[in-house]
């Protein structure tokens, strides 16, 4: 029995104190004892690390208190399962949440160190591709801020999303060695490792009561080691845990090979185990049917479920109540193998009978769908799946058998429906359809914006909607205003707080109060000044890093997101060429000066997306160097767009490009981040654009393009892009400029694949939307000239954006799906030390 008095942490010591002097002492202490450096020989990174540990020390007490409170009170808990968590840098966020930003800034300044400089130093944990991974990070923030007992489970990829460089206009991928200098925010918990099985076969046996069982005899066993990161809420004591799993080889596996003298064989097996969590698959909104990816999914899911079971045991809770204790959210289909794994754990390892296990399972899981794109719907070939997970394949067959019986009863004599709904696709090579498994195994199914949820019911999951209408619901995405306003745009945040107080940070609807100041000319001036200052900052950054001068008085028109044909960066490019052509034809044309900024990564294997990057850079080369432009048009492709950089970009935008083909972008979340920083949106009626337009007002949103329904009708009617090309002279000229080799040093072939795809297929209807887009862009240019009106439209975007806080999304999940309650964590030391 350990007899250490719990929580006997001194109040004002070097690890908890928060006045300038103590912080300075603590910083030096960490520099010396953790980094093992004297200041004289310290690098910037040493300083960053010393500061990170200083800040981490100050949140540990809350974190441990939270863990202990959850353990003791055993509240119903959300487990958010996601293959991606795109957290962004931790230091600034933790400083903000702890309320230590200013005092730490001062402490560092007294050392002659700039806090901004130190923040820059942090390697981004890029454990996600884009919107889906960043959404998980926003939700983890809101869960902690709302004091909801929750745990995020994912994968600790050794290499996150690649770093992007641009060479000769092309994307080049560089390995993301984010752990190179150590990660001060994570705590490894090797004592909590678990085992995960792979491959092999199953055997049947009958126990002493004559009951029939199945045993999985695996081919290999891999260790899962948890790495925990505290996720502190904003101005609360609740610090939830993000638990990411790393794969390691078990110590004893290689004895046989080793003893036989097969040293290399044994080492190879070790590295094969570790491969599982080596690298993030860099595909966004599409998947590759690779076995290693499936193994990654199973690995983290199995670790997480075993971990939950272990926690319940530690709390003396019976597994019969698993579904009462945990609500597990499946972030897309990536963790869906959890349905089969929980069944296996209950059936084979805890001897539940099928009905009981199935009852628990289907009351535990809820599934969020994030895309309608067919290429993103995961399916695993039966052969591949069965070779890694023979027992799960049996279980899935059994689930399917029983499920199809249910379908037969509800819809008799409907063979086509059975074939469509089956978890197994038998139309050719046999596949497991993960979305179907998720629908059958979950009690709730949601899309991520109203339109998306409606389209799910009408199209992709229509049969499942008819089968289980009560399961379907919508939760419109949201983003955290802490990171994307307070942290990334302090000037705007301070101005808002000066006017309406600071409660908007956790109650974003309060921003509505800004509407009172719409005609307050001082406020409007200040608001405008904030935007100009932030634009100037970005302009300085671009000058330093790209050696290009841009004019902060020009309209900053930004499209920052993954590069994808459905997102239509090339439609934007066509408009740039159109403007260019107009100025070439009439150099004295009175145009509104614009700076076009692009940012985003292309999946390394996605040729067309990479060609779009090359096209943008090629246009930039020509436009930026053409004296006729007289600096009225600038185009820049910003390399290596990531969360850290995004925080500079959102605040500086005047115009946010949200121009996907209607019906293709499930929600979008960048659209929300831009708008909450005062950018106006030019967009289609797609995803959350529709709801953003609804709340900010149609007069404060630039709408263009076909609706989702019109897109379908046009395709059904036999869409022919040539009709548009032939009948629209400006469009024709823009396309001809590309095909003539004008932007490719005379090479007419470089962009041919892209042009052919537009002229012969145009799957995403760029040509059909072109005219409407350029007319809309011309309205934008016109509107920007009336700066006072523009500022008011911009203020209204900020004032009315409250709905898109991730706090609102999380409340929706809490009330409609998870049915969990907040649990406030008390930390006596905290209140004493801050008073």
Write out the residues near ligand GL2 by the rule CB under 6 A.
129-132, 135, 284-285, 370-371, 376, 448, 477, 665-669, 687
Q: Minimum Å distance from CB 370 to ligand GL2?
A: 3
- Least distance from ligand GL2 to the Cβ atom of residue 562, Å: 7
The residue (of 96 and 609) whose beta carbon lies closer to ligand GL2 is 609
167 included as an active-site residue? no
Q: What's the CA angle centered on 156, arms 155 and 158, to 5 degrees?
A: 130
Q: Which residue has the tokens 């995803």?
A: 687
**Continuous segment of H or E residues that includes residue 109:** helix 101-110
Count of beta carbons in the 10 Å neighbourhood of residue 52:
23
Q: Could you tell me which of 317, 303, 314, 391 has the C-alpha nearest to residue 347? A: 391
562 is a catalytic site residue: yes
Active-site position among 561, 564, 639, 803: 561
CB-nearer residue toward ligand GL2: 239 or 612: 612
The reply to whether 278 belongs to the active site is no
**CA pair distance 533, 574, nearest whole angstrom:** 30
The residue of the chain with the least Cβ separation from ligand GL2 equals 131
**At closest approach, how far in Å is the CB of 446 from ligand GL2?**
10
Q: How far is the C-alpha of 461 from the C-alpha of 433, rounded, in Å?
A: 12
Cβ contact 645:561 at 8 Å: no
Please state the closest distance from residue 559 (CB atom) to ligand GL2, in A.
14
CA angle 821, 471, 415 (to 5 degrees): 160
The one catalytic residue among 391, 567, 601, 639: 567
Least Å distance between CB 133 and ligand GL2? 7
Taking the complex as a whole, the smallest distance from the CB of residue 722 to ligand GL2 amounts, in Å, to: 30
Pairwise CA distance, residues 492 & 494, whole Å: 5
- Tokens for 453, please give them: 């949820």
Least distance in angstroms from the C-beta of 390 to ligand GL2: 29
User: CA 377 to CA 464: how far, in whole Å?
Assistant: 15
- Known catalytic membership, residue 567: yes
Catalytic residue status for 819 = no
Nearer to ligand GL2, 63 or 804 (CB): 804
Q: Of 284 and 829, which CB lies nearer to ligand GL2 in the complex structure?
A: 284
Report the nearest approach of ligand GL2 to the CB of residue 564 (Å): 8
- The Cα–Cα gap between 119 and 91 comes to 7
In this structure, what are the phi and psi dihedrals at residue 729, rounded to the nearest 5 degrees? -60, -40
Catalytic residue (one of 562, 568, 693, 803): 562
d(CA 735, CA 719) in angstroms, rounded, equals 18
Closer CB to ligand GL2, 126 or 668, in the complex:
668
Nearer to ligand GL2, 376 or 623 (CB): 376
Q: How many CB atoms lie within 10 A of CB 179?
A: 15
Measured from the CB atom, the residue of 17 and 131 that comes closer to ligand GL2 is: 131
Q: Quickly list H helices, 656-763.
A: 670-676, 689-696, 708-716, 721-727, 729-739, 752-760
What 3 state SS string does 184-250 have?
CCCEECHHHCEEEEECCEEEEEECCCCCEEEEEECCEEEEEEEEEEEEECCCCCCEEEEEEEEEECC
Nearer to ligand GL2, 437 or 734 (CB): 437
Q: How far is the CB of 750 from ligand GL2 (least distance, A)?
A: 29
DSSP string of 624-637, one letter each residue: HH-GGGTTSEEEEE
Distance of CA 829 to the CA centre of its chain: 35
CA distance 754 to 609: 9
Taking the least distance from each CB to ligand GL2, the nearer of 287 and 352 is 287
Report d(CA 825, CA 339) in Å as an integer. 32
Q: How far is CA 797 from CA 53, 596, 678, in A?
A: 38, 21, 6
* Residue 669: active-site member: yes
For residues 82 and 833, which CB has a smaller minimum distance to ligand GL2 in the complex?
Answer: 82
We find the least distance from the C-beta atom of residue 130 to ligand GL2, in angstroms, to be 5
- 638 vs 652: CA distance, rounded Å: 14
At its nearest, how many Å lie between ligand GL2 and the CB of residue 320?
34
> What six digits make up the tokens of 382?
């039966």
Distances, alpha carbon 312 to alpha carbons 209, 304, 307, 323, in Å: 27, 12, 9, 11
Query: Which of 62, 325, 370, 639 is flagged as catalytic?
Result: 370
User: Which two three-digit tokens encode residue 405?
Assistant: 């019986």
Cα–Cα distance measured from residue 27 to residue 15, given in angstroms and rounded to the nearest whole number: 10
Q: Which is nearer to ligand GL2, 665 or 762 (CB)?
A: 665
Least CB distance to ligand GL2 at residue 373 (A) = 8
Catalytic: which of 241, 669, 681, 684? 669
Smallest distance from ligand GL2 to CB 135, Å: 4
Query: Is the CB of 97 or the CB of 667 nearer to ligand GL2?
Result: 667
- DSSP H helices in 326-414: 338-344, 354-362, 382-388, 390-410
- Distance (Å, whole) CA 99 – CA 257: 55
Q: Which is nearer to ligand GL2, 138 or 424 (CB)?
A: 138
| Non-local CB neighbours of 523 within 8 Å, separated by 6+ positions | 499, 517
For the chain, how far is it from start to end, CA to CA, in angstroms?
35
**Residue labelled with tokens 């005047």:** 654
The answer to whether 152 touches 231, Cβ cutoff 8 Å, is: yes
Cα–Cα dist 422/647, whole Å: 44
Candidate list 673, 693, 800, 803, residue with the active-site label: 673
Q: What are the backbone dihedrals phi and psi of residue 770, each rounded to the nearest 5 degrees, phi first?
A: -55, -55
Rg (CA), the chain: 28
CA-closest candidate to residue 342, choices 384, 382, 301, 311: 301
Q: How far is CA 239 from the centre of its chain?
A: 20
Residues recognised as catalytic: 370, 561-562, 567, 669, 673
């Amino acid at each position: 029995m350990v007899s250490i008095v719990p929580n006997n942490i001194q109040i004002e010591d070097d690890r908890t104190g928060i006045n300038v002097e103590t912080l300075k002492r603590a910083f030096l202490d960490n520099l010396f004892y953790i980094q093992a450096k004297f200041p004289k020989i310290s690098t910037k990174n040493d300083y960053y690390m010393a500061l990170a540990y200083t800040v981490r020390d100050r949140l540990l007490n809350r974190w441990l208190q939270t863990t202990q409170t959850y353990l003791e009170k055993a509240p119903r808990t959300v487990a958010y399962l996601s293959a991606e968590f795109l957290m962004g840098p931790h230091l600034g966020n933790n400083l903000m949440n702890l309320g230590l930003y200013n005092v730490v800034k001062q402490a560092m300044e007294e050392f002659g160190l700039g806090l901004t400089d130190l923040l820059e130093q942090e390697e981004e944990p890029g454990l996600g591709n884009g919107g889906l991974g960043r959404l998980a990070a926003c939700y983890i923030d809101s869960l902690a801020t709302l004091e909801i007992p929750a745990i995020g489970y994912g994968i600790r990829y050794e290499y996150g999303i690649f770093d992007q460089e641009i060479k000769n206009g092309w994307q080049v991928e560089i390995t993301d060695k984010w752990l190179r200098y150590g990660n001060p925010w994570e705590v490894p918990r090797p004592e909590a490792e678990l085992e995960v099985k792979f491959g092999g076969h199953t055997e049947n046996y009958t126990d002493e009561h004559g009951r029939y069982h199945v045993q999985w005899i695996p081919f290999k066993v891999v260790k899962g080691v948890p790495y925990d990161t505290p996720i502190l809420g904003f101005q609360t004591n609740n610090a939830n845990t993000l638990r990411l799993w790393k794969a390691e080889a078990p110590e004893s596996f290689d004895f046989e090979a080793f003893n036989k003298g097969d040293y290399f064989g044994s080492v190879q097996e070790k590295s094969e185990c570790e491969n599982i969590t080596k690298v993030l698959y860099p595909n966004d909104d599409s998947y590759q049917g690779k076995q290693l990816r499936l193994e990654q999914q199973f690995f983290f899911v199995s670790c997480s479920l075993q971990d939950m079971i272990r926690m319940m045991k530690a709390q003396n809770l019976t597994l019969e109540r698993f579904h009462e204790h945990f609500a597990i959210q499946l972030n897309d289909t990536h963790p869906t193998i959890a349905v089969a794994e929980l069944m296996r754990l209950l059936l084979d390892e805890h001897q539940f009978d099928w009905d009981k296990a199935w009852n628990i399972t289907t009351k535990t899981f809820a599934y969020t769908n994030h895309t309608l794109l067919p290429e993103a719907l995961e399916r695993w070939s039966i052969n591949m799946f069965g070779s890694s997970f023979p027992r799960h394949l049996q279980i899935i067959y059994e689930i399917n058998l029983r499920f199809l019986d249910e379908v037969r009863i509800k819809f008799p004599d409907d063979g086509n429906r059975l074939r469509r709904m089956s978890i197994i696709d038998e139309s050719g090579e046999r596949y497991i359809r993960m979305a179907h498994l998720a629908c059958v195994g979950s009690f709730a199914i949601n899309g991520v914006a109203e339109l998306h949820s409606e389209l799910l019911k009408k199209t992709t999951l229509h049969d499942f909607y008819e089968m289980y209408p009560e399961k379907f619901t919508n939760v419109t995405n949201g983003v955290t205003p802490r990171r994307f306003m307070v942290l990334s745009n302090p000037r705007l945040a301070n101005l808002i707080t000066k006017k309406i107080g600071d409660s908007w940070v956790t109650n974003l609807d309060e921003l509505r109060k800004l509407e009172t100041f719409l005609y307050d000319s001082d406020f409007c001036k200040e608001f405008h000044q904030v935007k100009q200052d932030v634009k100037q900052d970005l302009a300085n950054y671009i000058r330093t890093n790209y050696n290009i001068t841009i004019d902060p008085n020009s309209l900053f028109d930004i499209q920052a997101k993954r590069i994808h044909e459905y997102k239509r960066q090339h439609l934007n490019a066509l408009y740039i060429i159109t403007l260019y052509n107009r100025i070439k034809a009439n150099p004295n044309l009175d145009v509104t000066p614009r700076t076009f900024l692009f940012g985003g990564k292309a999946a390394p294997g996605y040729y067309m997306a990479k060609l779009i990057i090359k096209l943008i850079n090629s246009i930039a080369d020509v436009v930026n160097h053409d004296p006729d432009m007289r600096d009225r048009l600038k185009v820049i492709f910003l390399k290596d767009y990531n969360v850290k950089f995004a925080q500079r970009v959102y605040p500086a935008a005047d115009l946010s490009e949200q121009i996907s083909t209607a019906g293709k972008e499930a929600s979008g979340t960048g659209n929300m981040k831009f708008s909450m920083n005062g950018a106006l949106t030019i967009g289609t009626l797609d995803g959350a654009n529709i709801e953003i337009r609804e709340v900010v007002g149609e007069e404060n949103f630039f709408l263009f393009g076909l609706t989702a329904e019109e897109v379908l009708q046009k395709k059904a009617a036999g869409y022919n892009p040539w009709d548009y090309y032939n009948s629209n002279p400006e469009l024709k000229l823009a396309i001809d400029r590309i095909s003539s080799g004008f932007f490719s040093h005379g090479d007419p072939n470089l962009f041919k694949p892209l042009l052919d795809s537009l002229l012969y297929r145009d799957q995403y209807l760029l040509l059909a939307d072109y005219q409407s887009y350029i007319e809309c862009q011309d309205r934008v240019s016109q509107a920007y000239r009336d700066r006072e009106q523009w500022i008011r439209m911009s203020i209204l975007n900020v004032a009315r954006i409250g709905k898109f806080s991730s706090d609102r999304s999380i409340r929706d999940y809490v009330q409609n799906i998870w049915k969990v309650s907040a649990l406030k964590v008390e930390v006596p030391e905290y209140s004493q030390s801050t008073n």
